[in-house]
Structure 1
Amino acid sequence: MEKGIESIFKPHLEPKEVYKGGKNIPPSLKKIYKLSSNENPLGPSPKAIQAIKSVLDQIDLYPDQTDIRLREALVKDFGGKLAADQFITGNSGSEVIDMILRAFINEGDEVIYSNPCFLPYSVFSRWYGAKQIDVPLREPDYELDVDGILNAITHRTKIIFLTSPNNPTGTYIPKSVLEDFLERIPKNIVIVLDEVYRHFVDAQDYVMALPYVLKGHNIIGLNSFSKTYGLAGQRIGYCYTTATIANYIRLIHKPFLLPLTSIEAAIGALNDHEFIEETIRTVRIGRAYLAREFEKLQIKYWPSQANFFIIDPPLPEMEFTDKMLDEGIMVRPVSQFGAPGKVRITIGDREANGALVNALQKINPHPKR
């Protein structure tokens, strides 16, 4: 029955949980270490800063109508293995997710994802009326449930989200598992492989989407400039896929989509090889250090291939988060990501990691033996 203006609202947009990003650093007289948002521990790429400064006197003008200059820079970054028309860029990896869903999903179609995972997979798919199918990662190690996903596929399944390394668990999908999965799924399903944290991986059996794009699989590799390149504030991301899929998605790519400063910052960052290498080195050293300290403190954690850890805190998650903030450390409870009771901690620089360990020692001074 018609109820005024409410009759024109889409029923699948009824009020539900929405994605909430990490909090900003609160005002404080003491130093606060923000280890809650997986940002770059070294700050932004110096070449990106230089590139932004070089165009500040041009921000009264419209930016590039297309993203071709950035796509050409990505071609170079990928060693010429892909063509420029195989890349799609957007204002953050999250917007690229939205673009993919907008391109492929009709109301009633199905999207599969595996909690714990990045919340926008489910939140954004709801916007387009998709039926959301959660096939949880297998505990206790948060492994991909390949058989569970295969059993969940129906004729309405359009997109399957995979993440490697996964946010918030830090776990990854081994090459053999991914290849087995790709061989067994129907060919009319699009796989989105979120590989935003790929630069931090040192596992020998890790694999990106790239070789499978080159083989013609319906797979999309999702990436961002927020982590490795230190450009979270510029909101720029991209994906790559087959030319057929990319040119289809490009049909809904808006002109003048990327701000001038974002285009220049991304191109500059791609060329900042020294900064990229130092970022990766800092994260990997910090990751090994924190794993050792978690062991000493007997804090349960999951081995990570990303720039963060998920832990089982010694106190209830919100109490732990508040006590850590009292000690000057911001961390992220991740119940919203499908990991109730767990907390995610970003790997910082040497100073931040040391402060984190000191705070943990104060909160949990006598771990059970």
Structure 2
Amino acid sequence: MLVSKNVEELKPYQPGKPIKEVERELGISDAIKLASNENPMGSSPKAIEAVRSILAEANRYPEGGCYYLRKKLAFLLKMPEESIVFGNGSNEIIELIIRTFVQPGEEILYFDPSFAVYPIIAKAADRNYRAVPLRPTTFEMNVDDMMDAIGESTKVLFLTTPNNPVGNYIPYPQLKRLVEEVSTDILVCVDEAYVEYATQDDCRSVLDLIRQHPNLVVMRTFSKAYGLSGYRIGYAVGSAEIIGYLNKTRQPFNVNLLAQTAAEGALDDVEFLTASVENNSQGLELITATLDRLGIGYVPSQANFILIHTGGDGSEVFQGLMQRGIIVRHIPHPMITEYVRVTVGTPEENAQFIARFEEVMRQLGRIA
């Protein structure tokens, strides 16, 4: 056999459909993509300008350890420089964690549904993985369920909060309790990809717990609020020991020159970050007010997307919207098959989504 059984059986990650692909397939133009939780406001102007200024140097290898970016981020986070490692998106960070810390016969645990990459990477590495189901109906990520699931072979917990694709979160006091109660032999990895968008007081980062808990790792990305999805850059924060091991196993020059430079510029652009978060808050308010008016269910979100109950097969709403040039996401998970996930767009994009969504729902007979 050419490859191992786990690779043969692997089902790769399916991203949201690109705009150009949908326009080509359907013969349409001006499609709107609200499928991949990207920043609808684009990239930070300071990031763009910084990248333009460095293009002539792209014939050289980048700084291997992201020295200048790490220094700047450490200052902003008030963390030691040796406590930060960067990756080619947070996906690489997840892969590094599994490859570095999970040995054959050991397992990872994660809530389900959650970020689809956790089990994909584990399976590709031929490591064991187990899902802890969300509570039915409420979709709660119950920390007691996670702790009860821990077994003798458990090595890493992945907790995504706010949770993708649902949008809910684990309240800080519950996260703190889990971190304090879990054995120090288990790595607790908290994926905070959407934390910049959070507005609830108890939906906040656990960075402040790292100094007291050396088995805690916080993962973040520049893809969402900072608008750098196409550059592919994320990072992890943890104890110097944990980050030191990840630096041993990461590839040399794993973050390219343009990504490092763009991230530095983005960190300087507080105005852009603030505007992005405000646009998201206003967009969520508009969309949820419309759903309330129509009597349509949804999961309250602390992220830059919202999970909407369609009252039937969610794929039919997904297809109906796509035929009208609105690209959203239907995730064929048994728990959320009647839902679609919609990224918050610009005010104009949100208005178009609302109009087309009402049209599709009426056509399907799901609202009067």
Fold match by TM threshold 0.5: yes
1:367 CA displacement: 5.5
1:125-144 equivalence runs, <5 A: 125-144=122-141
* Gaps in structure 2 of 5+ consecutive residues: none
1:55 aligns with 2:49: no
For the Cα contact (< 8 Å) 2:44–2:272, is it kept in 1?
Answer: yes
Structure 2 residue aligned with 1:254: 251
- CA distance in 2 between counterparts of 1:50 and 1:106 reads 43
Structure 1 residue aligned with 2:354: 357
Q: TM-score, normalised by structure 1?
A: 0.94
| Residue of 11, 16, 22 corresponding to 1:22 | 16
Aligned alpha-carbon RMSD (Å): 1.6
- CA distance in 2 between counterparts of 1:342 and 1:136 reads 17
- CA distance in 2 between counterparts of 1:252 and 1:299 reads 47
Which residue identity is paired with 1:305? Q
1:254 CA displacement: 2.2
State the secondary structure of the residue aligned to 1:270.
helix
Deviations 1:19-72 (A, max 9, x none): 111110022543211000000010111111101100111111222132111111
- CA distance in 1 between counterparts of 2:76 and 2:334 reads 32
State the secondary structure of the residue aligned to 1:278.
helix
- CA distance in 1 between counterparts of 2:83 and 2:267 reads 17
Structure 2 residue aligned with 1:225: 222
1:338 CA displacement: 6.0
1:254-273 equivalence runs, <5 A: 254-273=251-270
Structure 2 residue aligned with 1:330: 327
- CA distance in 1 between counterparts of 2:70 and 2:47 reads 16
For the Cα contact (< 8 Å) 2:196–2:277, is it kept in 1?
Answer: yes
State the secondary structure of the residue aligned to 1:226.
coil
| Residue of 232, 237, 244 corresponding to 1:235 | 232
Deviations 1:178-220 (A, max 9, x none): 1221222211100110000001001011231201102234111
For the Cα contact (< 8 Å) 1:40–1:227, is it kept in 2?
Answer: yes
Which residue identity is paired with 2:304? N
- CA distance in 2 between counterparts of 1:266 and 1:110 reads 33
Structure 2 residue aligned with 1:10: 4
For the Cα contact (< 8 Å) 2:191–2:219, is it kept in 1?
Answer: yes
Which residue identity is paired with 1:271? D
- CA distance in 2 between counterparts of 1:129 and 1:274 reads 44
Q: Name which of structure 1's ranges 325-334 and 208-217 shifts more when overlaid on structure 2.
A: 208-217
Q: Name which of structure 1's ranges 354-363 and 332-341 shifts more when overlaid on structure 2.
A: 332-341
1:129 CA displacement: 1.9
- CA distance in 1 between counterparts of 2:339 and 2:6 reads 30
State the secondary structure of the residue aligned to 1:333.
coil
| Residue of 336, 344, 348 corresponding to 2:345 | 348
| Residue of 147, 172, 175 corresponding to 1:175 | 172
Structure 1 residue aligned with 2:37: 38
For the Cα contact (< 8 Å) 2:312–2:338, is it kept in 1?
Answer: no
1:101 CA displacement: 0.8
State the secondary structure of the residue aligned to 2:112.
coil
Which residue identity is paired with 1:310? L
| Cα distance change on mapping 1:12 and 1:29 into 2, 3 Å | closer
Structure 2 residue aligned with 1:3: none
* Gaps in structure 1 of 5+ consecutive residues: 1-5
- CA distance in 2 between counterparts of 1:90 and 1:182 reads 24
Structure 1 residue aligned with 2:69: 70
- What is the number of residues matched between the two proteins? 361
For the Cα contact (< 8 Å) 1:109–1:129, is it kept in 2?
Answer: no
> Percent identity over the alignment?
33
- CA distance in 1 between counterparts of 2:304 and 2:203 reads 16
For the Cα contact (< 8 Å) 2:176–2:206, is it kept in 1?
Answer: no
Moved over 6 A (4+): none
For the Cα contact (< 8 Å) 1:163–1:195, is it kept in 2?
Answer: yes
For the Cα contact (< 8 Å) 1:107–1:128, is it kept in 2?
Answer: no
For the Cα contact (< 8 Å) 1:136–1:145, is it kept in 2?
Answer: no
Q: TM-score, normalised by structure 2?
A: 0.94
For the Cα contact (< 8 Å) 1:196–1:223, is it kept in 2?
Answer: yes
- CA distance in 1 between counterparts of 2:342 and 2:360 reads 15
Deviations 1:70-92 (A, max 9, x none): 111211221xx211110010110
Which residue identity is paired with 2:55? L
Which residue identity is paired with 1:292? A
